[in-house]
Structure 1
């Protein structure tokens, strides 16, 4: 990690765009320790077995036929930055194309620095990621499944839990997302359309509250169902893992808490909690198969009001 090199990269931001993406990536990696990726044969076998077993268990428990992506990568933090830089750039592209800053050079430096901070912070905190490749240039590209090995090992140690067990828990969580998108082929397009609508309206100087509301509600369903499915499918005790992970999501030092708030990670925690409560209620009353009906078609997604009132969703959808 070289903070001075990171700052120098930001100060050298150039070009005509709002963000110098090359320098943002360079600065993010310079300011982030990549972490070790010295995988033992047991590590490699462990990741492969965890993903394979998670897929089998989730198929059995949820009754959902799906597969995991071919691109399953065990990464260090720099690999994660490289893998996600294009995604950030795709989302920001329309906004960049219509932004006219009064002081473009200074604005570019500030924006490049902000993006470098965001990428670096996330790279140090993400454990695993199922990437549905929203807004990808190639719509036929295979989805991705990533594990940031230094973070998995480090957080297991911080939480005082056995690394192989914690790694397996993370694998189950990420494979549940693969199960969701596999069960709902329409889901990627649904999320993309809301992102595109929201971004288009922002570039026009407005705010499409409906698009962002639908996106937030859909992601609450995605995260909540994943929590439910993981808890039902995981083949070990998990109460201590759940408690410690929940504490971690809300903990950290002052800088971490501020960063999480600025990056909207508190909202993500609320999505976990609200979505999990909704699906737990549905599954307790009607069974897991009924809860899985949310992925049958877009109209079955709960509304924001129904997430707070699962009984209303049950009456409307009658799964």
Structure 2
């Protein structure tokens, strides 16, 4: 065999076949198609040792993992990154009391500007470690579909001949895909936990249902860069968290729709064969850290497919609508009460638009980036619905997924506002819409029905004088 599967490439093609391997095969032949020049400083006599080391590494990494991602490894890497910074402090009793009071005030101010009642049943103050522990179950639901598809792609893309020769290597390749994703997830979560301000910072319900949470240590660092009082920032962030919880607690289809859209994205994943070759060539089986370094280089980023782009557009649109709604109601609730509310809203908008750590982590793991144009367009749409139809009609858009604006509606929010009343009335009274459709069909039949019956009668008479069997 002259081609080298599994991504083991010779550094110098001219050296290929110049040496005989220890098994007596000349010209670089081997049962795996790996020539003696396949990896620098490595010959076939080391194949058994390499496979043993690789198998041990994968076995240790997946010892406690029952899915496509080793979440124990991800958690360990995340906590190592948090501890290395030395800035994560457990929340104090005073910080918890201040957070509780901020939520009480925020909920009171949100009541008049939305029809959704209070969604949070408990208030928590988290350290960065608490955030990792509390959000990991949701990350599992978000990441498993993507990681499962990446892991299977490593083996599915191999040619039949390579699969036959590979034998037990196939399971190792599958594990490596999941392990690589786990390593990438742990690194992202470590950065995420050190910067995130609330449990819903990217518009997703990452925490426990009906649990509102703020991270005081991260908020203190965030406040240092602002020219606003700390208590004002705390109330503003509490209002955003409370608004998210009202939405996620009282729109039953929303959470599942978000997760289902991520799964749709995962089904379209295709791994670039050239990237897989390059990744395999960079991984040193005796050095697990080399896998993380290779993954950070972005080699395993999946290729975009039309199906993925459609799923990402839907997910991007839904997240923009969530963010736009929260931005509007928080602005209405706090605008006349907190002097710096507008400035804080703009700060968070810019933080999102510039690709802050939260958005970058989500983009790395799922492939999604929220565009600032959509966020502002969504806020404009919700504002238009409020001004034209009122708070109750605006919030009724969340009653059914079929009422939700699409990406095209965000391109022209004014048109959506103009036509919203007609669409919502048909969903509010589907029987009336059905009766109108039946009446329209009956009117059409009345204009042509007589001739159709005459033709039928003539056909019957022609077949037997009108007598029916």
Q: TM-score, normalised by structure 2?
A: 0.56
- 1:45 partnered with 2:125: no
Question: Aligned residue for 2:215?
Answer: 148
The 1:68/1:26 distance shift into structure 2, 3 A limit, reads: same
**Root-mean-square deviation over aligned CA pairs:** 3.6
Report the Cα distance in structure 2 between the residues aligned to 1:29 and 1:218, rounded to whole angstroms: 31
The counterpart of 1:191, out of the listed 251, 254, 258, is 258
Question: Aligned residue for 2:378?
Answer: 275
Report the Cα distance in structure 2 between the residues aligned to 1:27 and 1:112, rounded to whole angstroms: 9
What SS does structure 1 have at the residue aligned with 2:212? strand
Question: Aligned residue for 1:122?
Answer: 192
Could you report, residue by residue, the CA deviation over 1:170-217 in whole angstroms, capped at 9, with x for unpaired residues? 0101111122234423323333433344434549x9735544433322
Contact 1:282 1:310 in 2 (8 A): no
The 1:257/1:187 distance shift into structure 2, 3 A limit, reads: closer
Contact 1:13 1:108 in 2 (8 A): no
Q: How does 1:1-319 map to 2 (within 5 A)?
A: 13-15=61-63, 18-32=68-82, 33=85, 35-41=88-94, 43-62=95-114, 64-97=115-148, 99-100=151-152, 101=154, 103-104=173-174, 106-130=176-200, 142-200=209-267, 202=269, 207=307, 209-234=309-334, 235-237=337-339, 238-250=341-353, 262=364, 266-267=369-370, 269-318=372-421
What SS does structure 1 have at the residue aligned with 2:123? strand
Q: Which moved more, 1:169-178 or 1:273-282?
A: 273-282
Question: Aligned residue for 1:6?
Answer: none
Report the Cα distance in structure 1 between the residues aligned to 2:192 and 2:413, rounded to whole angstroms: 33
The 1:308/1:256 distance shift into structure 2, 3 A limit, reads: closer
1:26 Cα deviation from its structure 2 partner: 0.7
Could you report, residue by residue, the CA deviation over 1:120-167 in whole angstroms, capped at 9, with x for unpaired residues? 121122101249758x9xxxx733322111111110112232211101
Contact 1:19 1:108 in 2 (8 A): yes
Contact 2:91 2:217 in 1 (8 A): no
What SS does structure 2 have at the residue aligned with 1:267? coil
1:109 Cα deviation from its structure 2 partner: 4.7
1:37 Cα deviation from its structure 2 partner: 2.5
Report the Cα distance in structure 2 between the residues aligned to 1:287 and 1:128, rounded to whole angstroms: 29
The 1:231/1:10 distance shift into structure 2, 3 A limit, reads: farther
1:249 Cα deviation from its structure 2 partner: 3.6
Structure with more relative contact order (C-alpha pairs < 8 Å, separation 6 or more): 1
Report the Cα distance in structure 2 between the residues aligned to 1:74 and 1:38, rounded to whole angstroms: 6
Report the Cα distance in structure 2 between the residues aligned to 1:14 and 1:187, rounded to whole angstroms: 33
Report the Cα distance in structure 2 between the residues aligned to 1:210 and 1:107, rounded to whole angstroms: 25
1:69 Cα deviation from its structure 2 partner: 2.6
What SS does structure 2 have at the residue aligned with 1:312? helix
* Structure 2 residue runs without a partner (length 5+): 1-56, 156-172, 271-301, 425-469
The 1:239/1:11 distance shift into structure 2, 3 A limit, reads: farther
Aligned residues: 303
1:314 Cα deviation from its structure 2 partner: 2.0
Q: Which moved more, 1:9-18 or 1:240-249?
A: 9-18
Report the Cα distance in structure 1 between the residues aligned to 2:373 and 2:364, rounded to whole angstroms: 15
Report the Cα distance in structure 1 between the residues aligned to 2:361 and 2:143, rounded to whole angstroms: 20
Q: Which moved more, 1:71-80 or 1:290-299?
A: 290-299
Could you report, residue by residue, the CA deviation over 1:41-86 in whole angstroms, capped at 9, with x for unpaired residues? 3x32221122122222222122x14223324221011111111222
Contact 1:24 1:112 in 2 (8 A): yes
* Structure 1 residue runs without a partner (length 5+): 1-8
Report the Cα distance in structure 1 between the residues aligned to 2:204 and 2:346, rounded to whole angstroms: 28
